[in-house]
Amino acid sequence: MNEFGLILEYFTWPIKDPSVTIGVGDDAAVFSLEKGYQVVTTTDTLTEGIHFSANTSAKDIAQKSLAVNLSDVAAMGAKPKYFTLAISLPKIDKSWLKEFSDSLRHLSEQYEVSLVGGDTTNGPLSITITMIGTIESSKALTRSGARPGDGVYVSGTIGDAGFCFWKLTNGIVPSSYELKRLNCPIPRVELGLALKNLASACIDVSDGLEQDLSHILKSSSVGAIIEVEKIPVSEALHIHIEDTNDWTIPLCGGDDYELCFTIPEGNKELFKKVLEPCNVNITRIGVVTESLGLQIEGFDGPRSSYQHF
């Protein structure tokens, strides 16, 4: 099977979005933009041995590759629309490719994003997805809008993926819930869209809550106080924290793909109405302050978030 056969067999499916004029199969993709909208784009690479282990299933690899990119577009408050896939494969393994392709297609249909192009090469297993989204002009949620007095919030529970990773590296079998949280994160696309008229700043939690919230604070030239006891954690992780008195996992674990955002106090009522239909818990964990830096109340142990190099 050559490259063209491979693309045809595994990465070409009907595109339902009428804004895509030319999808897979030409030199480049063409799509139309609605007037008054801006393009939001992001790219993420997942490499075997770095971002996932050799025994991760093709289904989970596809899901995570797409989810982490959807999550970045969600953090901008934008609607994900199109994506390209560059995949490097050590060999052509038809059953692996079928599983990968089915999973990618399934999730892309769920989030209504169209695969419009890409590249396939021979080499160590690595997946790069570039996601393209759209948003009404100058509505994008950035990291730089947080102001003193705004509440600091997170979605879902924090630290499940980190707890799973901690268990795996310590020879403890994680629960199926924890494995799912690590391998198949849920991108908070609906929440991001709801937040675009509400939040003053937003980021997705990929490298650890402490580090990612600090990005908002630096970009916004503000500080924050958060209380560890308020960070929403799952029951099993809560027991682990009670036993060890160690909040490192929720603070630094990373790979959560929940959203961390700030909301002006005045928006509180509106916020209940807008966020309720998003079907995810939202928790206030602290407040933005004028004095710079992140103050963490309730835990002063050593901390180190994920570093890429």
Indicate the residue among 43 and 267 with the shorter CB distance to Mg ion.
43
Q: Which is nearer to Mg ion, 178 or 204 (CB)?
A: 204
Closer residue to Mg ion in complex, CB, 74/288: 74
* Contact flag: residue 72 with Mg ion (CB under 5 A): yes
What gap in Å lies between CA 264 and CA 152, rounded to an integer?
9
Cβ at position 184, least distance to Mg ion in Å: 18
Are 127 and 34 contacting, i.e. CB atoms less than 8 angstroms apart?
no
Among 56, 136, 43, CA closest to 83? 43
Helix/strand/coil for 201 = strand
3-state DSSP of 90-117? CCCCHHHHHHHHHHHHHHHHHCCCEEEE
Interface with Mg ion by CB under 5 A: which range of 72-80, 138-146, 227-235, 276-284?
72-80
Selected binder of Mg ion within 160, 204, 207, 210 (CB under 5 A): 204
Considering only the stretches 55-63, 111-119, 127-135, 204-212, report the one whose residues sit in contact with Mg ion under the rule CB under 5 A: 204-212
Binding mask 25-64 for Mg ion (x = CB under 5 A): ----------------------------------------
CB of 44 to Mg ion, least distance (A): 8
Under 8 Å between Cβ of 160 and 250: no
Per-residue binding letters, 160-199, with Mg ion (x by CB under 5 A) = ----------------------------------------
Instruction: Please give the angle made by the CA atoms of 55, 61 and 64, to the nearest 5 degrees.
Output: 135
Instruction: State how far the Cα of 303 lies from the Cα of 301, in Å rounded to an integer.
Output: 6
Tokens of 133: 């989204």
Q: Which is closer to Mg ion, CB of 150 or CB of 204?
A: 204
Would you say 72 or 258 has its CB closer to Mg ion? 72
Decide: is 207 part of the binding site for Mg ion (CB under 5 A): no
Cβ-based neighbours of 276, under 8 Å, separated by 6 or more: none
Which residue blocks in 111-208 are alpha helix, DSSP H?
160-169, 176-183, 189-195
Residues that bind Mg ion (CB under 5 A): 72, 204
